[in-house]
Amino acid sequence: MSIDEKNKPKNKRAAFARLVEYLKPYKGSVTIGMLSNFGIAITSLAPGLIFGKLLTDRVILSHGPLGPRYRLLVVGVIALVLAYGTSAFLNWVRAYVMHVLGERVILDIRKLVYSHLQSLSISYFDNRQTGEIMSRVTNDSEVVEEFINHVADTLICDSAMLIVMCVIMFWISVKLATVAILILPILYILMRRFSKRVRPIYRSVRERLAQINAKVQENLSGMRVIKAFAREDYEFNNFHEDAEAYYKMRVAAIGMWSRYFPSVGMLVNMASVVVWIIGALDVIAGRAQMGTLVTFTMYMGMFSGPVRNLAQFSDTVQRSLAAAERIFEILDEEPAIENAENAIDMPRIEGRVEFEHVDFSYGGEDEVLNDICIKAEPGQIVALVGRSGAGKTSIVNLIPRFYDPRGGRILIDGFDVKRATQKSLRRQIAMVLQDTFLFNGTIRENIRYGKLDATDAEIVEAAKAANAHEFIEVMPQAYDTEIGERGIKLSGGQKQRLAIARAILADPRILILDEATSSVDSESEYLIHRAMDRLMEGRTTFVIAHRLSTVKHADQIITLENGRVCEVGDHKSLVDQDGVYSQMYSMQFRLDEELG
């Protein structure tokens, strides 16, 4: 889907209403912010009356005795100081309360989004870039914060202030007030046109920024490949194109609001000029007092403040709603895999796994598995072999219910996995993958991930069983050594052994080894195989390996071809059949001899 298609205007009222919902738990803070704003509005009424009615008419232009006029001057000055001081204090209260509220609401939204992301199925992440998701959680949340900080309470108060100013201005002079409010319909039309045109642009800006973040995140992760192929200039040119596109979108938005805001200001100023002309003519003709004109023009200035604010809020609201819609898209995403209504926690299992006529496809596209029937008894080692794309990884991904089959059932100890809660199912399964993922932290933290409440002694025992303790002990800080992002400071074999230690600590009943020794040296492979032998003891194990010599001793070897089971047996019986497995084994045997 193109950016333009994504950025068609959504239902902004619905997005606005959802944002307001996040304020409901903090009614107290919102109330304080609104009362502070009302207080600021009320105190701002005082200077106009003091200057216009008191100081101008009864002090400056009065011809009375000097004594009373001086006393009125002192009273007026004290009143002004109190008004301005109160306004400053209320501004501080409002700013502090509303900005803290903004941070609190954004914290709530980020936690909600992250929690929801954790609940989404693997298929959601298969089709999305990590950087794009990160942009929604971080950058878009910051934009939404502006809505809380600058709009939530001020929008209501400025609207109320506008009404109060209109009433006061009509009370002072109907003629001048009529002239002043003639700009409101024009401003409304301008605001509507601006909102309609700028919102899709802001949406495009958010999408393009997400693409840039995704690209940067991907390139940083693949920096070794970029440098190995000397593709720095190529990647820079790609980034340059994205950055230029983002720049042009930003300039388009700037072009719109840079015309919009001055237009609003010009209208307000022209209305003030007309008011001054009419008011001055009335004062000259004796139809009005100078104090009345001074008071009215001061309130006219105060009237223009909310008008300008509401015009500016339109820009803030549009940016916030564009960002909010992207956040709500995540929150509205339904997990592809959900617990059944009557799902129960799966008790400790023995490890019997059965596939009953299972069919599977990714996203409803071409069928990947067809009529798969497998039965693994507790403690058995089951090897899945076949050419690339035969469906081996798809089978093992169905066991922990990362995906659901399109047809058939998967049973564990005779229990349909769809009837179990996902957490209780996955707690009894461990995976050691070819592309071992380790977290940016210490060795101890990564091993403990298999059992969060594990003691240090248990961690050491797991490391010893995985043949990892020896190399850990010679690390700079032993188990407290930082290993970098994705374990970058470790070798492939060391990372594999840490992954095995993590799996040992988890004490699963079902173990999945996906190409676990296909990318390590011979010495590491020997140590890993010894560790795996300990790990597999008493556990139902599914092993995927292209090197068929590693699965000779499997209890069952299941050969897959084009998503179907074509052969089942042990190594000897399958070699004797002269089928797919025998051909693959002979080919690898000849290749090993040639290379040897």
pLDDT exceeds 50 at position 595: no
CA-closest candidate to residue 144, choices 309, 325, 7, 314: 325
**Tens digits of per-residue pLDDT, 156-202?**
667 767 777 777 778 877 888 788 777 778 777 777 777 677 767 77
**pLDDT average, residue stretch 519-542:** 71
- Per mean pLDDT, which range of 176-180, 317-321, 539-543 is the poorest? 317-321
Provide the pLDDT for residue 314.
67
DSSP class of 344 = B
**pLDDT average, residue stretch 393-397:** 86
Query: Would you place residue 392 in the very low, low, confident or very high pLDDT band (cuts 50, 70, 90)?
Result: confident
Pair 358, 223 in one domain: no
Please list, in sequence order, all residues whose beta carbon lies within 8 angstroms of the beta carbon of residue 38, skipping any fewer than 6 positions away: 157, 160
pLDDT exceeds 60 at position 594: no
Query: Would you place residue 224 in the very low, low, confident or very high pLDDT band (cuts 50, 70, 90)?
Result: low
CA distance from start to end of the chain: 51
CA-closest candidate to residue 69, choices 80, 54, 57, 59: 59
Tell me, yes or no, whether 460 lies in a domain. no
pLDDT exceeds 60 at position 517: no
Rounded CA-CA distance 278/292 in Å is 12
Provide the pLDDT for residue 589.
63
Rounded CA-CA distance 5/72 in Å is 66
Provide the pLDDT for residue 515.
60
**Tens digits of per-residue pLDDT, 458-501?**
888 888 888 888 888 888 888 888 887 777 777 777 888 888 88
Tell me, yes or no, whether 448 lies in a domain. no
What does the CA dihedral 460, 466, 469, 472 come to, rounded to 10 degrees?
-110
Pair 188, 216 in one domain: yes
Tell me, yes or no, whether 147 lies in a domain. yes
Pair 91, 232 in one domain: yes
Provide the pLDDT for residue 8.
42
* Of 257 and 104, more confident: 104
Global pTM reads: 0.70
* Of 61 and 563, more confident: 563
DSSP class of 289 = -
Phi, psi of 460 (to 5 degrees): -65, -40
Q: Is 455 helix (H, G, I), strand (E, B) or coil?
A: coil
Q: Are 405 and 359 in contact (CB under 8 A)?
A: yes
Pair 397, 265 in one domain: no
pLDDT exceeds 50 at position 422: yes
Query: Would you place residue 130 in the very low, low, confident or very high pLDDT band (cuts 50, 70, 90)?
Result: confident
Pairing of strands 540-544, 381-386: parallel
Pair 368, 323 in one domain: no
Rounded CA-CA distance 244/235 in Å is 14
> Mean pLDDT score of the chain, rounded to an integer?
76
Tell me, yes or no, whether 473 lies in a domain. no
**Tens digits of per-residue pLDDT, 365-384?**
778 888 888 888 888 888 88
Provide the pLDDT for residue 448.
84
Provide the pLDDT for residue 2.
42
Query: Would you place residue 61 in the very low, low, confident or very high pLDDT band (cuts 50, 70, 90)?
Result: low
CA distances from 355 to 255, 407, 408, 417 (A): 61, 11, 8, 11
The sign of the dihedral angle between the CA atoms of 562, 568, 572, 576 is negative
DSSP class of 440 = S
**pLDDT average, residue stretch 296-315:** 70
Provide the pLDDT for residue 311.
66
Tell me, yes or no, whether 585 lies in a domain. yes
Query: Would you place residue 593 in the very low, low, confident or very high pLDDT band (cuts 50, 70, 90)?
Result: very low
Rounded CA-CA distance 321/140 in Å is 10
Q: pLDDT exceeding 90 applies to what percent of the chain?
A: 0
Pair 263, 365 in one domain: no
pLDDT exceeds 50 at position 399: yes
Q: Residue 575: which CATH number?
A: 3.40.50.300
Tell me, yes or no, whether 413 lies in a domain. yes
pLDDT exceeds 80 at position 85: yes
**pLDDT average, residue stretch 551-565:** 84
Rounded CA-CA distance 534/52 in Å is 92
Tell me, yes or no, whether 340 lies in a domain. no
Q: Which residues of 479-494 are buried (b: 16+ CB within 10 A; e: fewer)?
A: bebebeeebebbebbb
User: Residue 318's domain spans which residues?
Assistant: 10-331
Split into its structural domains, the chain has a count of 2
- Per mean pLDDT, which range of 141-155, 278-292, 365-379 is the poorest? 141-155
Pairing of strands 510-514, 540-544: parallel
| Residue 529 in tokens | 């195989």
Provide the pLDDT for residue 226.
65
Pair 32, 141 in one domain: yes
Q: Residue 136: which CATH number?
A: 1.20.1560.10
Q: Which residues of 319-358 are buried (b: 16+ CB within 10 A; e: fewer)?
A: bbbbbbbbbbebeeeeeebebeeebeebeebebbbbbbeb
Pair 353, 322 in one domain: no
Q: What strands lie across the sheet with 556-561, from one edge to the other?
A: 429-433, 510-514, 540-544, 381-386, 556-561, 564-569
Provide the pLDDT for residue 156.
65
Rounded CA-CA distance 404/515 in Å is 23
Pair 400, 296 in one domain: no
Provide the pLDDT for residue 227.
60
Pair 281, 371 in one domain: no
Pair 315, 277 in one domain: yes
Tell me, yes or no, whether 180 lies in a domain. yes
Provide the pLDDT for residue 64.
61
Pair 374, 326 in one domain: no
Query: Would you place residue 58 in the very low, low, confident or very high pLDDT band (cuts 50, 70, 90)?
Result: low
Mean pLDDT highest for which of 5-9, 244-248, 313-317?
244-248
* Of 306 and 579, more confident: 579
pLDDT exceeds 70 at position 123: yes
